């Protein structure tokens, strides 16, 4: 435990029997960025003099840096033996379509179906669209024949810092309780690690769904009651009916039954 002199000289605090140390530089005019349990003492602003770290212009350096990051992503993906089909690389490429209106043509047995909606996210082997009534539409990647966005509304080349504007307390909890926080949200699990469809759907057991299988002419609508690595089970009129993932064409989760908190990652989780 630090002495009183150390507490004064080094700006240490004790929080919940744990030592807390203020950052070296804190701008007193800015809002608390990290949900600090203690207010750091105001510091006298110090002049900062940036030094050149490259002979390239800022524009050229930004372009080179982006190329290096893309090359590193490719090398990292190729080097991962647990992902022989490069599913993670495909997922990251598809995620560039987020917030775009898209049209998806899928193969559903003898039928060729067209689905449309706002591209929400992509998993390792599925994509997520939001329909015009706000439902969540999940399509297995292997069913997709064609995916297009006829009216692009933004750039697809940039790298979004998705968690840059999150709640400051969530930022703190992610730093100190990463496993506990991430494991509660399928969105965060998919963002950091990538999820397969079977694992993603486990969070929606108990939701009302519409499921279309390639060997069924009509959709099955009912309560999603069970998910395993091979199939899902939907309770229709009190009877459980199974659909193998190999036969699933798409799955729609009804808005009123959807646990939206699973997608809203800007809320402060409760850590116990």
3-state secondary structure of 258: coil
- Which residue shows structure tokens 């799955």? 251
**Could you tell me which residues are beta bridge partners of residue 20?**
13
H/E run at residue 73: helix 58-79
CA distances in angstroms from 87 to 80, 90, 201, listed in the order given: 11, 5, 18
Residue 250 has pLDDT above 90, yes or no: yes
Contact 117, 132 (CB under 8 A): yes
Cα–Cα distance measured from residue 235 to residue 223, given in angstroms and rounded to the nearest whole number: 5
Residue 5 has pLDDT above 60, yes or no: no
Residue closest to 193 by CA, chosen among 102, 141, 123: 123
Residue 159 has pLDDT above 60, yes or no: no
- Domain covering 86-272 in this structure, CATH number: 2.30.30.600
Contact 174, 182 (CB under 8 A): yes
Query: Does the CA dihedral 29-32-34-36 come out positive or negative?
Result: positive
Tell me how far the alpha carbon of residue 93 is from its chain's centroid. 14
Q: What is the mean pLDDT of residues 114-141?
A: 91
Per-domain boundaries in the chain: 58-85, 86-272
Q: For residues 8 and 194, which has the higher predicted lDDT (pLDDT)?
A: 194
- Give the gyration radius of the chain's Cα atoms: 24
The percent of residues above 90 in pLDDT, for the chain, comes to 22
The percent of residues above 70 in pLDDT, for the chain, comes to 69
pLDDT band at 116 (very low <50, low <70, confident <90, very high): very high
CA distances in angstroms from 248 to 17, 117, 126, 201, 251, listed in the order given: 52, 19, 11, 13, 8
3-state secondary structure of 218: coil
For residue 88 the two structure tokens come to 């993670």
Query: What pLDDT score does 262 carry?
Result: 43
For residue 235 the two structure tokens come to 């309770």
The DSSP output letter for 79 is H
Q: For residues 53 and 70, which has the higher predicted lDDT (pLDDT)?
A: 70
Residue 180 has pLDDT above 60, yes or no: yes
pLDDT in tens, 199-249: 889 888 888 999 999 877 778 889 999 999 899 999 988 889 899 999 999
Q: What is the mean pLDDT of residues 154-166?
A: 62
3-state secondary structure of 154: coil
């Amino acid at each position: 435990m630090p002495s009183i002199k150390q507490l004064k000289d080094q700006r240490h605090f004790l929080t919940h029997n744990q030592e807390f140390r203020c950052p070296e530089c804190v701008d007193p005019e800015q809002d608390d960025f990290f949900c600090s349990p203690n207010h750091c003492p105001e510091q006298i602003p110090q002049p900062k003099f940036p030094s050149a770290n490259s002979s390239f212009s800022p524009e050229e350096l930004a372009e080179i840096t982006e190329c290096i990051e893309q090359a590193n992503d490719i090398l990292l993906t190729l080097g991962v033996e647990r992902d022989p089909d490069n599913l993670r690389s495909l997922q990251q490429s598809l995620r560039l379509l987020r917030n775009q209106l898209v049209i998806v043509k899928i193969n559903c047995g003898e039928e060729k179906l067209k689905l449309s909606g706002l591209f929400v996210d992509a998993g390792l082997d599925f994509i997520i669209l939001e329909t015009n009534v706000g439902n969540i539409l999940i399509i297995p990647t292997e069913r997709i024949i064609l995916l297009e966005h006829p009216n692009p509304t933004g750039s697809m080349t940039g790298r979004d810092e998705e968690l840059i504007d999150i709640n400051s307390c969530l930022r703190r909890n992610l730093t100190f309780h990463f496993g506990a926080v991430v494991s509660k949200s399928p969105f965060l699990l998919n963002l950091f690690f990538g999820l397969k469809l079977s694992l993603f759907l486990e969070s929606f057991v108990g939701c009302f769904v519409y499921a279309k299988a390639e060997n069924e002419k009509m959709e099955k609508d009912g309560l999603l009651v069970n998910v395993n690595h091979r199939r899902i089970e939907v309770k229709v009129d009190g009877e459980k009916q199974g659909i193998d993932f190999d036969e699933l064409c798409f799955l729609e989760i009804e808005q009123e039954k959807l646990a939206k908190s699973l997608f809203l990652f800007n809320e402060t989780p409760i850590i116990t």
